[in-house]
Amino acid sequence: MAVIGKDILKASSLLEQGKLVAIPTETVYGLAANALDTTAVAGIFRAKNRPTFDPLIIHTYSIEKAKEYVTEFPTELEKLAKAYWPGPLTLLLPKKNVIPDLVTSGLFDVAIRIPNHPLTLELLQQLKFPLAAPSANPFGYVSPTKPEHVNKQLGNEVDYILDGGACEVGIESTIVGMENGKVCVYRLGGLTIDQIENVIGKIELKINSSDNPTSPGQLHSHYAPMKKLVIGNVEELLKQYENAGVLSFGDKSYEVYTYELSRTADLTEAAANLFAGLRALDESKVEIIITEYLPAIGLGIAINDRLTRAAAEK
Ligand code: TXA
Ligand code: MG
């Protein structure tokens, strides 16, 4: 098991030595290493058992810093950065040579974001390099939203876990890039489509669900618990399945083990509880997890996307 603490100096000194440190962000915990050090980055792939065709997001603390790692920052994307950084927004921008090919899996664009968490922002300001950090979970499993989640699954792989408490947003960042001069969203996440369109107008959605994706955040089966997850009419499904537990939304009561995403049907609260809920049900005695789609508005769209992928056959 790894040490969990709030010591930024310890975290920065380990990272300077090329070690792995789990860092808190507003979305989910990240498994961080020096993004400019290929050996350190290789350690991330090894620890997560992640295929090297799945590129990593780099994290920095200012737009000026981000510009040091890219050859171009299109106006539309810069508008989004100014409006929503630090925040749950990742931008795909053409990379400079300083960013190792391993980070981008050989792609021309690098994914960059400024996370909105005071501890991690302070850490990033102290470091002379950006941090490559995927979600701190074994490949394909549910992302961690608390330090203990990281410790349970990757405790033997990380050198330190920086404790920033529970993640406030709870689902990963929204990934945005450009294609043929048009702004496209590649992964739904903590920043809603409405929030993006309020700043730059209509955008395109490129959310594939295939088993051979160009952006592996789009893998059909992803964010998955170990147990079978079934989505539909909860009351009906409870009649069909024995030993089931429910991931519930709104003011409802069931006779079986239930994890409440939000009793008041608040989508922000539901997003923050989503992954912890899947974990709790996974660790409980139930054999099947039953849930329903949430209202497809705002964060509900990204939550439903995660549920669909979590329910997909592995
Ligand atoms: O909220 C988040 O984004 C969290 C926190 C830790 O920042 N990170 C995260 O990383 O979710 P990860 O690795 O679990 O998911 C990143 C996704 C991957 O599915 C990857 O395919 C996509 O971003 N991605 C990264 N670099 C890319 C690139 N250059 N082009 C296209 N997609 C990219
Ligand atoms: Mg991930």
pLDDT tens digits, 225-235: 789 999 999 99
Instruction: Supply the pTM of this predicted model.
Output: 0.94
Please give the single-letter amino acid code of residue 231: I
Q: Are 41 and 35 in contact, with CB atoms under 8 Å apart?
A: yes
Gap from CA of 16 to ligand 2 centroid (Å) = 24
Question: What's the pLDDT score for residue 211?
Answer: 46
- The answer on 112 and 163 residing in a single domain is yes
Q: Reply yes or no: is the peptide bond before residue 213 cis, omega within 30 of 0.
A: no
Atom of ligand 1 nearest to the CA of 143: 14
Whether 45 is in a domain gets the answer: yes
221 belongs to a structural domain: no
Pair (35, 106) in one structural domain: yes
Closest ligand 1 atom number to CA of residue 219: 19
**222-241: b or e for each residue (b if 16 or more CB lie within 10 Å)?**
bbbbebebbbeebeebbeeb
Query: Does 114 lie in the same domain as 53?
Result: yes
Q: Which domain holds residue 27?
A: 4-205
- Would 222 be classed as within a structural domain? no
In the chain, the number of structural domains is 2
Task: Examine the domain organization and report whether 69 and 183 are in the same domain.
Answer: yes
Which residues make Cβ contacts (< 8 Å) with residue 238, sequence separation at least 6? 244, 246, 254, 256, 290
Q: Tell me, yes or no, whether 115 and 253 share the same domain.
A: no
Determine, yes or no, domain membership for 144.
yes
Give a yes or no: residue 216 inside a domain: no
Flag residues of the chain having pLDDT under 70: 209-223, 314
Give me 158's structure tokens: 């990380």
Same domain, 154 and 239: no
Ligand 1 pocket mutation, candidates 44, 57, 59, criterion most atoms within 8 A of CB: 57
Q: Domain with 191 in it: what CATH number? A: 3.90.870.10
Same domain assignment for residues 191 and 294: no
pLDDT digits (tens, 9 = 90+) for 74-120: 999 999 999 999 999 999 999 999 999 999 999 999 999 999 999 99
Within-domain flag for 219:
no
Q: Are residues 61 and 192 in the same domain?
A: yes
pLDDT for the residue 212: 43
Q: How far is the CA of 112 from the centre of ligand 1 (A)?
A: 9
Give pLDDT, residue 200: 97
* Residue 185 and residue 49 share a domain: yes
Is 59 within the bounds of a domain?
Answer: yes
Structure tokens at 8: 């930024």
Q: 255 C-alpha vs ligand 2 centroid, how far in Å?
A: 33
Q: Residue 286 maps to which CATH number?
A: 3.40.50.11030
For residue 182, the model assigns a pLDDT of 95
Q: What pLDDT is recorded for position 35?
A: 98
Rounded Cα distance between 12 and 14, Å, is: 5
**Both 161 and 16 in a single domain?**
yes
Asked if the structure places residue 150 within a domain, the reply is yes
